[in-house]
Amino acid sequence: MPTVHLLDYVAGNIRSLVNAINRVGYEVEWIRSPEDVKNAEKLILPGVGHFGHCLSQLDQGGFLEPIRQHIEAGKPFMGICVGLQALFRGSEEDTEVPGLGLIPMRIQKFNDSSKSVPHIGWNSAMNTGDDSAKQQSFYGLRPISKYYYVHSYAAPYKPGALENDGWSVATATYGEEEFIGAISRGNIFGTQFHPEKSGIAGLRAIRAFLNGDRLQSLAPESVAGKGEDGLTRRVIACLDVRTNDTGDLVVTKGDQYDVREKSGVDAGGQVRNLGKPVDMAKKYYEQGADEVTFLNITSFRNCPLADTPMLEILRRASETVFVPLTIGGGIRDTVDTDGTEVPALDVATMYFKSGADKVSIGSDAVFVAEEYYNAGEKLSGQTAIETISKAYGKQAVVVSVDPKRVYVDRPEDTNHHTIQTSYPNAAGQRFCWYQCTVKGGRETRDVDVRQLVRAVEAMGAGEILLNCIDKDGSNSGFDLELINDVKAAIKIPVIASSGAGVPDHFAEVFSKTTTDAALGAGMFHRGEYTVSQVKEHLQKERFLVRQFEA
Ligand code: 1PR
């Protein structure tokens, strides 16, 4: 197998990039010292987290100058995400830390006054320039394809500025802002998106870079059928995973979080077994799921952390699933079976190294939100959310919320934020608040969902996975009132979850709320609908979705 060199300094999910490189027929050799850069022919610089952190790490490790020399020598270089940003002069994210300065522009933060930031999801990389430039693609990028982005900072696009300097540029639009999605000149290729997480379209870009296929003519139908720019609606498949009564790790699914069978041969308390986690993740990827989430809904108390079965599930899933993987359950400060105290950051690191792109924090987020308010809304800097977000970037930290409705006669009857609901309870009460729960809904806490999401946003969470215990497994559609209430309270993206039963529920949640993504579980696991059917329906209803490329 031919080789490519990969810099080993980064935190984050490097495993998926290695898997993607292997998939297109190359082997990875690690760069562990600045000396190794000299031996590299093709070099990839991945980057996650903060611009300043990445660039300072590279600088302190003595890598910056060898990288500059590699590029100046005309050898193939690819920068991914912060790896692309490193090519610029600097970034608003850390004004003190300089970039490589090959591009005399600065990276800027997205404007969050009218849209969620970070920008998370599938967006375009469309060639700029005149009509003849648009007939060509660089490194296999296609106008009809979508690519996975996750970032708060980007290079704003200024027409002609880079093209006049010999660069090929592909852009994407987020809200009112057009930014650089990919650039290339001579031996340099940079992508703001993550090609290793962008399905077949991303693998095509990696293959083209490694094979040295810089420019290709686009097929006429690709040019004519130029895709629609902008962020797509994300459809996520969720796998609740736990050990069943015979000790096997299975995908299960509850009704209002109760996962035991109530009818059929297993009636009387067996855990519902809906399939094997890795096989099901692959199936949903092949159906066009934009992300796959695994929730470990029970903790593996008797198992040393390093052998947690979820790690193996992630390792195996990331070999075949080239879209983002989220893992939730048990992300908190932990005591291992031998008595060793393991901070949440180390637990998360194990998951990232095994192929996770994001970790999802449930119960621990509620406990730390309580402490945050008790301390007068002061950050401690020590919570799992803060430490993981600081090390890996906020896009890597999801907070999973498990709220349920508490009805009251009047808003004055509670200290919590209430909504007037169109769905009164049996007693006719027309107001409710959403109470946060922990331990898979087993225990309620004196925190409402608004308090929770505001606290975790302040701590550096990048996204909210918004479940709803009342709706879970009901097939009656999402809780639109809850979603609108949460969306109005925060800037970070929200994933609507719980209640999807038919494809039209996805169309409904996207038209009646401003949710950023929607998640389904039971309807997919029971084989009632496929992810592709949901996407076809969304497309029919004129929502922009990512087409699955075979
Ligand atoms: O508290 O950090 O260890 O995390 C535990 C995680 O496990 C949390 O994210 C919590 O939501 C989840 N969890 C715990 N118990 C259950 C359970 O079901 N008994 N599952 C559970 C949560 C809810 C969704 C589900 C949607 C969609 N599952 O993930 O997939 O409701 O379902 P539907 O489309 O079929 O309606 P920690």
In this structure, the residues whose C-beta lies within 6 A of any atom of ligand 1 are 238, 240, 253-254, 257, 259, 295, 297, 328-331, 360-364, 400, 402, 440, 467, 472-473, 497-500, 520-522
Indicate the range of 2-16, 412-426, 518-532 predicted with least confidence: 2-16
pLDDT > 60? residue 523: yes
Average pLDDT value for the chain: 93
Residue that wins the pLDDT comparison between 317 and 50: 317
Q: Could you identify the atom of ligand 1 that is nearest to the CA of residue 468? A: 31
441 Cα: distance to centroid of ligand 1 (angstroms): 9
Instruction: Show Cβ contacts of residue 42 under 8 Å, excluding neighbours closer than 6 positions.
Output: 3, 4, 5, 75, 76, 77, 78, 209, 210
pLDDT > 60? residue 301: no
Query: What average pLDDT does the segment 342-351 reach?
Result: 94
Q: Which of the residues 178, 196, 291, 516 is marked catalytic?
A: 196
Lookup: tokens for 229: 């720019």
Entry pTM: 0.94
pLDDT > 90? residue 467: yes
23 Cα: distance to centroid of ligand 1 (angstroms): 32
pLDDT > 80? residue 36: yes
Under 8 Å between Cβ of 395 and 150 = yes
Task: Report residue 416's pLDDT band, with 50, 70 and 90 as the boundaries.
Answer: very high
Lookup: tokens for 442: 């087993």
Residue minimizing CA distance to atom 7 of ligand 1? 297
Angle between helices 309-320 and 14-23 (to 10 degrees): 40
Query: What average pLDDT does the segment 139-167 reach?
Result: 95
Q: Could you identify the atom of ligand 1 that is nearest to the CA of residue 501? A: 34
Model ipTM over 0.85: yes
Structural domains of the chain ordered from first start = 3-224 (3.40.50.880), 234-402+436-540 (3.20.20.70)
| Residue in 236, 257, 385 to alter for ligand 1 test, most ligand atoms within 8 A of Cβ | 257
For strand 3-7 and strand 43-47, is the pairing parallel, antiparallel, or unpaired? parallel
pLDDT > 60? residue 225: no
Question: What per-residue confidence (pLDDT) applies to 285?
Answer: 97
Task: Report residue 123's pLDDT band, with 50, 70 and 90 as the boundaries.
Answer: very high
Output the CA torsion 324→329→332→333 (10° steps).
Answer: -120
> Is 409 considered catalytic here?
no
> Is 81 considered catalytic here?
yes
Question: What per-residue confidence (pLDDT) applies to 279?
Answer: 96
Task: Report residue 298's pLDDT band, with 50, 70 and 90 as the boundaries.
Answer: confident
Q: Which of the residues 81, 432, 436, 468 is marked catalytic?
A: 81
Residue that wins the pLDDT comparison between 303 and 81: 81
Question: What per-residue confidence (pLDDT) applies to 222?
Answer: 67
39 Cα: distance to centroid of ligand 1 (angstroms): 48
Residue minimizing CA distance to atom 35 of ligand 1? 522
